[in-house]
Every structure is written in C-alpha cells, then in structure tokens.
Chains A and B, each alone.
Chain A
C-alpha cells in the first residue's frame, strides 16, 4: 500500500494539476451550459461531487470484482454507464424525498449528470491508471472538487463578463470560450505544483 503522502499528492494533483475540465477537457458541456449564474453553478457542483465520488467507487467495485474475474473487461463502458445511470436516478429520488428545496435548486441538472462525460471519464481513467480502491475514491472526489472549483470560478467570471463592454463579434458564447481557454492556460501554470 502506498504511503499517505502519495494519496495527498494524488488528491492535490487531481484538483489542480490534472484538472478534469481544463486539462483533460472532460465535462465541458455542463462547464459551458450551467455557468451563467453562480447559484446554479454551485448546485451543479454539489450534485456532481456526490455522483462522481459514488460512481468512481462503484465503477471500481464493478470492474475489479465482477468484470475482471470473469474476463469481461470489454464490457466496461456499458457496465459503467448502467452503474452511473442507476446512481444518478437513486440520488435524484433521495434528494427529492429528503430535501425538496435542494431538489428544486438542482432541477434539471441532476438527470443531466448522467450524460456528463466527466463521470464516465473518471471511471475509465481509474481503470487505465490501475488505481486501487482508495485511490479510485480519492481520484473521483478530487476530480469532482476540481470540476466544482473551475465551474464556480468560471461562473463568477461570466457574471462579470456579462456586464462588461464586450466587442460585438465576441458577445455570448464566443467570449465564454475565450475565457475558458484563458482559464485553461492559467491552470497550465500549476503543472509544476505536483509531479505526477
């Protein structure tokens, strides 16, 4: 078992250095889609964090306990998709029952997470990197935190850009994409933080 510091490095590396959105370019659809207002961005972040962590753990269990012993690794994608869809559905029901207010805030974002490529991406990267159980969980949670961080920062930027004097050809999505590109560049600057 690797020492504790390695887990910490993995965590920080996942949040800042190998950021799921800005470096690995996964989960771009919610990144562009729900970053118009900071409240919705926070709601989406919370839902994604929960689902991503849970589905990373579940995917690891399915892969190493069911698929690998039976030699069925080629079914990974479809099996992970089933697991993610089930987790998202289950989460939606529980949230609807226990916290109607949160359910109203999250609204359409909960089902949308099913099609968030970051969730499947994290599950597949975990397999690719041969992460163990704890590493998978940390990677899932770290990726979710990285996603939340970037999404909320981006939403804050967009709220300010909205009131700025943007040249006409750049208005709307164009300036959003440029902002995202600049953020990606800025996050490249963190590469030296952790050697992964």
Chain B
C-alpha cells in the first residue's frame, strides 16, 4: 500500500520536474512566426498596408487576416520571401496599397507654397517632417522612408516625391537584399 502510493507519487513528481524544466527550457515568448514575418518586412513603418506599422501587419499575416501582398516598399521580393516562409502561393503586389519604387524616394516640401497646416506632420509615420502651425514645414531627408503618406492630406499639394540623388559623398554599397531568384532556389 505505502509502496504503491510512494511509487506513483515519485513517478508523478519526476514527470512533473521534467515538464517543469522543459517549460522553462523550451519557453516560447510571443509568437515566433510573427517575429519571422516581421524580420522579412522592410520596417519602413509606413502603414500603406492599412496596418499601423510593420509588426501589426506581421501579426495580421500570422493570424491569416491579411494577404501577403500589401507591402509596397517591400515589393515583389518581400512577397516571394513571405510566400517561402509561410509556404503559400506567390501573389502579385496589390496596387491599391501603392507602387513599389526601385529608386528610393524622398519627400520635398515646396516651402514657398506651404501654409503650415501641420496635416502632413500628423500623417508621417516616422516623424520626419518638422514644423509648427502657421510656419512652413520641412522634411528631414535622412528620416524620410518615401512612403508617400504625406501626399493625400496636403491641402495645397506642396509635397513632391523626388528620387534621391546620389553623390560621391553619400554613395553606399547596396544592402544585400533577397532577390527573387535566391528565394526561389531555396
């Protein structure tokens, strides 16, 4: 009788210890799929996908709420990478959310026309526009991700998207990006 109780208690205790250790050892923080998706997104935080930033969009993809083709800054390469990760079909980029530009763009405010309405400041997801009410605004070119979100709110159409001109001073080697061919090979 005592032996039976002891044996079962010991076995249960042992399994409990193993499981307790495993729970700590194999702890999963958050949803790892969201992290993996988020790592493939371009992190422009532009919100063109209709979600407030890249991580919410990653969560929406992970939950199956959003298709993978809503990221204009990422373009086709991001779609192919996401399709490879999630094992779904490659889609065409959804043009409703904006077009993908191969050359990086930067917003330039025509300061003579600007009326200082601050609407574009509120629209900018990366706080790259500087200015205050009734004073002209300007764009911090280094911070601008070229997402074009400041264009629709501007009442006087004083914002232009211009390609970034490269000079010898600011030329950099292009970042290693996943090209479609590489993604297909894997």
Contact = CB atoms under 8 A, between A and B. Distances in A.
A101 B11 contact: no
Contact of B3 (A72, A85, A89): A72
Contact of A93 (B7, B23, B31): B23
Given A79-B8, A85-B15, A90-B22, 20 more contacts: A62-B11, A66-B7, A67-B7, A70-B7, A72-B3, A72-B7, A75-B4, A75-B8, A79-B7, A79-B11, A82-B11, A82-B15, A86-B15, A86-B19, A89-B22, A94-B22, A96-B26, A100-B36, A101-B86, A104-B33
Interface in B68-93: 86-87
> Range of interface residues on chain A?
20 to 34
Contacts of B15: 82-83, 85-86
A104 B7 CA distance: 37
Interface residues of B, number: 20
Interface in A73-108: 75, 78-79, 82-83, 85-86, 89-90, 93-94, 96-98, 100-101, 104
B8 A93 contact: no
Interface string B2-44: 0110011001100100110011001110011100100000000
12 contacts: A66-B11, A72-B4, A75-B7, A79-B7, A79-B11, A82-B12, A86-B18, A97-B28, A98-B26, A100-B31, A101-B86, A101-B87
B32 A100 contact: yes
B63 to A, nearest CB: 11
Contacts of B33: 100-101, 104
In the complex, which of the residues B4, B23, B87 has the most CB atoms of chain A within 10 Å of its own CB atom? B4
Contacts of A72: 3-4, 7
Nearest to A97: B26
Given A90-B18, A100-B33, A78 B28 contact: no
Interface in B111-143: none
Interface of B: 3-4, 7-8, 11-12, 15, 18-19, 22-23, 26-28, 31-33, 36, 86-87
B26 A93 contact: yes
Contacts of A67: 7
B81 to A, nearest CB: 15
A95 to B, nearest CB: 9
Contacts of A62: 11
A101 B15 CA distance: 27
Contacts of A101: 33, 86-87
Nearest to B36: A100
Given A66-B11, A75-B8, A78-B8, A90 B19 contact: yes
A72 B22 CA distance: 29
A67 B15 CA distance: 16
Nearest to A86: B15
Nearest to A83: B15
Nearest to A85: B15
Contacts of B23: 93
Contacts of A97: 26-28
A85 B16 CA distance: 11
- List of 3 A-B pairs having minimum Cβ-Cβ separation, nearest first: A86-B15, A97-B26, A93-B26
Contacts of A93: 19, 22-23, 26
B74 to A, nearest CB: 21
Nearest to A99: B32
B6 to A, nearest CB: 9
